[in-house]
Structure 1
Amino acid sequence: MKIKLDDLAIDKDDPFKNCLFNREKYADILNKVISNYNKNIVMAVNSEWGTGKSTFLRMWQQKLTNTGFLTVYFNAWENDFEDEPLTALLGELSAIQPSSKKNFDKVLDVAKNFAIEFLPAAAKGIAKKYISEDAIDIVESGLDGSSALVKKLLVDYSVKKVSLIKFREEIGKVIKNLSPNRPLVFFIDELDRCRPNYAVSILEKIKHFFNVSNIIFVLAIDKEQLSHSVCGVYNSEKINSKEYLRRFIDIEYSMPNDSKENYVKYLINYYQINEDLQNNDKHFRTKEEDQFYHLIWNLFHGFNLRKLEKTLGLIKLSLISVNSEKIYPEIHLLLIYLKLEKPDLYNKILKKKFSMSEFYKELNDLTSFYLKLEVGIEILEFHAIMMICYGNYLSPTALNEFIHSAVAEVQSLIQSFKNLQPIYGHQCLNANLETFIYRIEITNDFNIA
């Protein structure tokens, strides 16, 4: 059984082979931009969280590698356990070519002038992840017994300014040595998921420490979320955070919102939902299966990719509990939609807060919503089966009492009852919302990250 979605495989020879959104054309455009620069630029690929930026970055990175670019990938979110991002940024560069060790030693020796927390012995264990043992020892020995001097350097502006120039010279030599003919492309992913102060610190380090030729930074961001991080760091909603970000970002590319239909089909196939439908009821008709898929798309296509993944996982879990009971696609999926998007309404249904007349009014209020979804049946027939399900859920007599009420609209509903058997089968008059709610509520015991 598959519930957790595996990372999409990236073919080294054909990186966009498994791309579900035909995004290689965007990588081609960005390649042309990068190929025309050999100086320092910072490019942002902007798209909302959950739209597949990370997968796109990985595919694009591999495509660049295949065409002769040297690239570095850094997941900022996975590394924000450190307070000083400069350690990690330098470490990623150091790791790609050990022959540059001597140059890195010079860089580190200069870097000690900027932050006392950058190289203390307590951080040695973390630094080993990125920097050679010898390099750590060289710098660490330079700090032995000199904390007073380092503290003085931190407040001595002129010394820091000279050191910064020297740092840039040395890091420039490292980058030139690593990639002499083309710019080195440094990808920074998940920046908008980091702690606000860590995300802003990374931007500042890129701006001040890596402002050298032959390196291009590519930031994957949700600009809206990153703007909130800026406001959080400065503890003010009045700061013009988007203008602040322009100080650090030279080129912004907003990744187009692609059709998610292929992704929905991929998730349905990946979670093997067709097997759950077919194994549940040998009388489950092709038409109903098609309607199930059609409603998944119509109900959930507005969700981002991460939320789609989670929703399809929940649908999978809800179907596991089905034995031989008939599945009514539009009821099953509509309740899941209400649980996710209209929880107040869903909980009132769950707790039987509506009378039959009130529930009927709620259905009528949602008529335009159903019509937009193109549920595949007449609205009155859908109202009729929903009233049967809720009535049987409310009490053994609730449906009959409602049918015999004086409500004028009930007469057209009674006529619709006659049309239900050809659509839903002969057992439809016994359908009970409790069955559907049980299937859905069992998913509360699971959490799909």
Structure 2
Amino acid sequence: MKLYPPDAELILYETGFGADDPFDRLGTSKSLSNLVERIEDPLVIALDGGWGSGKTWFLKRWIAAHRLENDGRATTVYFDAFAHDFMDDPLIALTGVIGDQLPKKAEAKIWKRVKAAAAKLAKPAGRIGLAVASGGVTEVAGPLIDAAAEAASKEIQTAAEAFWAREDGRRAAMEQLRAALIDLTMIEIDGSAGPVPLVVVVDELDRCRPDYALALLEVVKHFFSVPNVHFVLGVNLEALAHSVRARYGSGIDAERYLRRFVSLSVHLPDEIGEYNAKPLALSYFTQMAPQMGIERNAVDKFSTHLEMVAKTNQLTMRDVNQLLSQLALIDPEVFTKYYWGYREIVISMILFRFTSSGLANKALSDTLSLKEVHDFYDIEPKMLEREDGGYNHQAYLISGLWEHIISRGTGPEKDQKEFARAFSQFGDGNPRKVLRVANGVISKFAFPSAEG
């Protein structure tokens, strides 16, 4: 049995979606490719989503899928902003990473012009000099590094300042950079006719230092705003808005500020399938659990709970990964030898703990209400009436078991004896003991929960 969901090997720029697409992202991939190929005006597209929503998984595959699976012509580049935010100015790092991915013909004839213009536009950066002196820079390309590398470590700062002093004029350099970028998109690649777009994927932007993240947005807006050059930002716009406030103060309209830079936003779908769509979290869970070797009874039972919970609780892929790992830690005998009522309550408690609902702590402190359980599972009255067309047997079981525990066995007589026998042969057990047993099962080996 595996503790973590298996992750297929990914080779950047070579691994697309193919048959390994548990999130059903191929449709979104093709729509994005179609957009950047059709539109000539410069675009900055925010792939907006919370942490753990699968943005990086999607973007790292899309840059390969664009040409290999979607018949795109654009040159695609992946730039991990967080990996470069030790620098003071993102322009040198960005031009270096782009240059590494361009066809050799373009590199020889045009990209030297881009790098030269970038050198005149970027600002002095003592942090870069220190990193070069200590051998800490491995991915940064550009004239500054060449100049710095020639100097002795004790003279590194002086060399950097002298290099930047040779600036001919930032306005002229900006025009040179833009002209070179336009020429770059007009190069014939693989017999193509017409402009060949350049699409730069900037990932992990919201994890960067606020100053660096905002500086990168300024660079994109002022230096790379030319036809057929597009940017796709993997970002949580809400978190990026916090960076804006951290930089400019709480009084700024952060959302309006970000609209200066972002042309449009797109969200990854959280459901799979056009007809009878299922929550993405459920589909991912049912695909990954068997691959991890989790007990089939546990998978089937957990899926019925997850299908109800996913309707009202926003579960990210990271959440589902943690749920899968937690389930893998539980002794398989819980789902094969324990009374069926214990199995249901164990699953409820796992879901309570991982959804920031606070319900697990309430259950243990004897303050949980049946209404809170119903709200968590989206249980409506019609789902509990056998004669009603909306009857849902799983909802009926969950409601009845929790009512038995919350009322300590003193709830309505209807079906209470049956629910009492869900935990012991003769239905004479202590309802509070159920929670102690369930909590012991999931706490023996447990990951940190959302409830703390």
Cα gap change, 1:321 to 1:232, in 2 (>3 Å)? farther
Whether contact under 8 Å (1:39, 1:183) holds in the other structure is no
Instruction: Say whether residues 1:382 and 2:401 are aligned partners.
Output: yes
Instruction: Say whether residues 1:418 and 2:439 are aligned partners.
Output: no
Cα gap change, 1:13 to 1:339, in 2 (>3 Å)? closer
Cα gap change, 1:144 to 1:306, in 2 (>3 Å)? closer
Distance 2:252 2:216 in 1: 19
**1:386-397 matched pairs, under 5 angstroms:** 386=405
Instruction: Say whether residues 1:340 and 2:340 are aligned partners.
Output: no
Pick one of 233, 240, 262 that aligns with 2:283.
262
Whether contact under 8 Å (2:185, 2:195) holds in the other structure is no
Instruction: Say whether residues 1:271 and 2:292 are aligned partners.
Output: yes
Distance 2:109 2:398 in 1: 74
More helix by share: 1
Shift of the alpha carbon at 1:224? 2.0
Equivalent residue for 2:124?
Answer: 116
Cα gap change, 1:104 to 1:130, in 2 (>3 Å)? farther
Shift of the alpha carbon at 1:4? 2.4
- TM-score of the aligned structures, taking structure 2 as reference length: 0.74
Helix, strand or coil: the match of 2:319?
A: helix
Cα gap change, 1:325 to 1:382, in 2 (>3 Å)? closer
Q: Show CA shifts across 1:184-224 (max 9, x none).
A: 21111222232222221111111122223432211122222
Larger Rg: 1
One-letter code of the match for 1:54? T
Equivalent residue for 1:442?
Answer: 444
Equivalent residue for 2:200?
Answer: 186
Distance 1:423 1:75 in 2: 52
Shift of the alpha carbon at 1:162? 2.3
Distance 1:31 1:152 in 2: 42
**1:223-262 matched pairs, under 5 angstroms:** 223-234=237-248, 236-258=249-271, 259-260=279-280, 261-262=282-283
Equivalent residue for 2:275?
Answer: none
Distance 1:446 1:138 in 2: 48
Instruction: Say whether residues 1:296 and 2:309 are aligned partners.
Output: no
Shift of the alpha carbon at 1:267? 3.2
Q: Show CA shifts across 1:315-371 (max 9, x none).
A: 322346859544523211222233334665533544xx44xxx77xx3466456563
One-letter code of the match for 1:267? M
- TM-score of the aligned structures, taking structure 1 as reference length: 0.74
Q: Show CA shifts across 1:101-122 (max 9, x none).
A: 5754444444333311189643
Whether contact under 8 Å (2:88, 2:128) holds in the other structure is no
Equivalent residue for 2:92?
Answer: 87
Q: Unaligned 5+ residue runs, structure 2?
A: 272-278, 384-391
Shift of the alpha carbon at 1:307? 1.6
Equivalent residue for 1:4?
Answer: 4
Shift of the alpha carbon at 1:419? 2.0
Distance 2:27 2:399 in 1: 46
Distance 2:421 2:119 in 1: 79
Shift of the alpha carbon at 1:273? 2.5
Distance 1:411 1:239 in 2: 54
Helix, strand or coil: the match of 1:220?
A: strand
Cα gap change, 1:412 to 1:43, in 2 (>3 Å)? closer
Distance 2:197 2:206 in 1: 25
Instruction: Provide the aligned C-alpha RMSD in A.
Output: 3.9
One-letter code of the match for 1:7? D
Q: How many positions carry a matched residue from both structures? A: 405
Equivalent residue for 2:386?
Answer: none
Whether contact under 8 Å (1:73, 1:187) holds in the other structure is yes
Instruction: Say whether residues 1:318 and 2:330 are aligned partners.
Output: yes
Shift of the alpha carbon at 1:16? 4.5
Cα gap change, 1:203 to 1:324, in 2 (>3 Å)? same
Shift of the alpha carbon at 1:181? 4.2
